[in-house]
Every structure is written in structure tokens, then in C-alpha cells.
């Protein structure tokens, strides 16, 4: 049986509002949505490699559909590119160019401070309070491609008003990888303007309705 797995974004948690909405909606149709905690060890120890390990243990070699939001979308693309047991992929505002975008947003001076101190303070939306992210996240992310190419059927949904991850990144990814279908919505990075419409687009692609 195919399992459905939702990968939450950076500084989020399994309590993500989009994840909960989809889980509750699909439960009514007998579909269970697994939502692993990708940052179980805390932001200070968070790395791309570590999170991919969580995904690998969750998939466990079984057939799976991956739905990923922001950083979770980037992780879903990375994982699917190397694992044929993934049947389909849905990427919600995926954080392509992950390492490069961190450096651009933080800026040279703050990046150097982050490297020297080992930590950068951010707001953890999943916990509702500030938290420290370790420099290892950035250092490890440098080992991964900006635009992983997913060979499986893949739907990207991205808001045209996204100020966190520009929609142009998803446009570039879809140009590079023919299996990626891009749908642009009049929305921001959270993609919460119309959750019913968002869920409908996902369900149509996954043939759940």
C-alpha cells in the first residue's frame, strides 16, 4: 500500500496548519497522512543530511507519495531524485537554492558571525519562540544541488507573492526537469489563502478524488 508522507518546513513542526488540514481532510476518505518531525534533535543540530535520514526511516523502502512544504519540499525533491520507491511528489513553495538563499538573505557580515559563533538566532514557528540554528545546517547544505531533478510525476505549487522563496526558483526547476509541473497561485509563501483550493489541486494531481 502506498503511504502518504508530509514533510514540514524549516522551524516548523508536525503541527503545521497545512499538514493538519490535509491530514484531517484525508482522514475522512480513509487516507492516513504521516507527518514526521524533521527537527526532532533541535535546530542547533539540524542538517539536510539528518533530515533526509528521517525521511528514509519513514519511507522504509516502501511505496510512497511525498508532500513537502518549503524546506520540506526541497527535501522531498532531493529524496525522490534518488529513490524510485517514491511514486509521486508534491512540492509547496519548495526551498530550491537552499544554501545559496541562506547566504543571500543573511548577508556576508552575519554569515561570518554565524560561522564564528556556530549559531544564528531565528524564530521557531513550531515552538512559538526564538531558537538557535547551528552553522552545520548551512555547511551540510553546500553538499546538495540547488535544483534536484525529480524523475517521478511532480507537482509544484508556488505563490507569485512569495517573498521568502521567489517563485522564479520553481520556474527554473520546472524548466530543468520535464517531470515537474508548476502551478502558480496568487498567494504568499505560506499558501494559506485558500486551503480548500490548495488541497483540491493536490488531490487532483494525486487522483484522490
Please compute the mean of the pLDDT values over residues 107-112 and round it to a whole number: 95
CA angle 138, 184, 16 (to 5 degrees): 55
Q: Report the run of H or E that residue 196 belongs to, with start and end.
A: helix 195-206
Do residues 65 and 5 make contact, with C-beta atoms less than 8 angstroms apart?
A: yes
pLDDT in tens, 76-96: 999 999 999 999 999 999 999
Q: What average pLDDT score do residues 176-191 get?
A: 96
Q: What is the pLDDT of residue 124?
A: 72
Strand (E) positions, 93-189? Answer: 119-124, 129-134, 154-159, 180-185
Residues listed for the chain: 209
Per-residue pLDDT for 146 more than 80? yes
Distance, CA of 78 to CA of 197 (rounded, Å): 26
Q: Hey, what's the cell of 155?
A: 507537482
Q: Which residue ranges make up each domain of the chain?
A: 3-97+147-206
pLDDT for position 114: 96
- C-alpha–C-alpha distance, residues 143 and 107, integer Å: 20
pLDDT digits (tens, 9 = 90+) for 52-68: 999 999 999 999 999 99
pLDDT value, residue 168 = 98
Query: What is the Cα–Cα distance from 77 to 149, expressed in whole angstroms?
Result: 7
Please tell me which residue, 49 or 123, carries the higher pLDDT value: 49
Q: How confident is the model at residue 209 (pLDDT cuts 50, 70, 90)?
A: low
pLDDT tens column, 14-35:
999 999 999 999 998 899 999 9
pLDDT at 2: 94
How high is the pLDDT of residue 42? 82
Q: What is the CATH number of domain 3-97+147-206?
A: 3.40.50.1820
Among the listed residues 209, 165, 139, 188, the one whose alpha carbon sits nearest the alpha carbon of residue 77: 165
Amino acid at each position: 500500500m502506498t503511504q502518504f508522507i508530509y514533510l514540514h518546513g524549516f522551524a516548523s513542526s508536525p503541527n503545521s496548519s497545512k499538514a493538519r488540514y490535509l491530514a484531517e481532510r484525508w482522514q475522512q476518505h480513509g487516507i492516513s497522512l504521516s507527518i514526521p518531525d524533521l527537527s526532532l534533535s533541535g535546530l542547533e543540530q539540524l542538517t539536510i543530511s539528518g533530515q533526509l535520514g528521517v525521511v528514509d526511516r519513514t519511507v522504509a523502502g516502501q511505496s510512497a507519495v511525498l508532500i513537502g512544504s518549503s524546506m520540506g519540499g526541497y527535501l522531498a525533491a532531493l529524496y525522490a531524485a534518488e529513490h524510485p520507491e517514491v511514486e509521486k511528489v508534491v512540492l509547496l513553495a519548495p526551498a530550491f537554492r537552499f544554501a545559496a538563499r541562506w547566504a543571500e538573505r543573511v548577508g556576508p557580515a552575519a554569515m561570518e558571525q554565524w560561522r564564528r559563533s556556530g549559531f544564528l538566532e531565528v524564530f521557531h514557528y513550531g515552538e512559538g519562540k526564538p531558537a538557535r540554528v547551528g552553522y552545520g545546517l548551512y555547511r551540510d547544505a553546500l553538499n546538495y544541488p540547488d535544483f534536484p531533478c525529480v524523475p517521478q510525476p511532480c507537482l509544484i505549487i508556488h505563490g507569485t507573492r512569495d517573498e521568502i522563496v521567489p517563485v522564479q526558483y520553481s520556474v527554473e526547476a520546472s524548466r530543468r526537469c520535464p517531470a515537474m509541473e508548476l502551478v502558480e497561485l496568487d498567494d504568499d509563501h505560506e499558501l494559506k489563502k485558500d486551503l480548500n483550493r490548495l488541497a483540491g489541486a493536490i488531490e487532483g494531481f494525486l487522483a484522490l478524488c
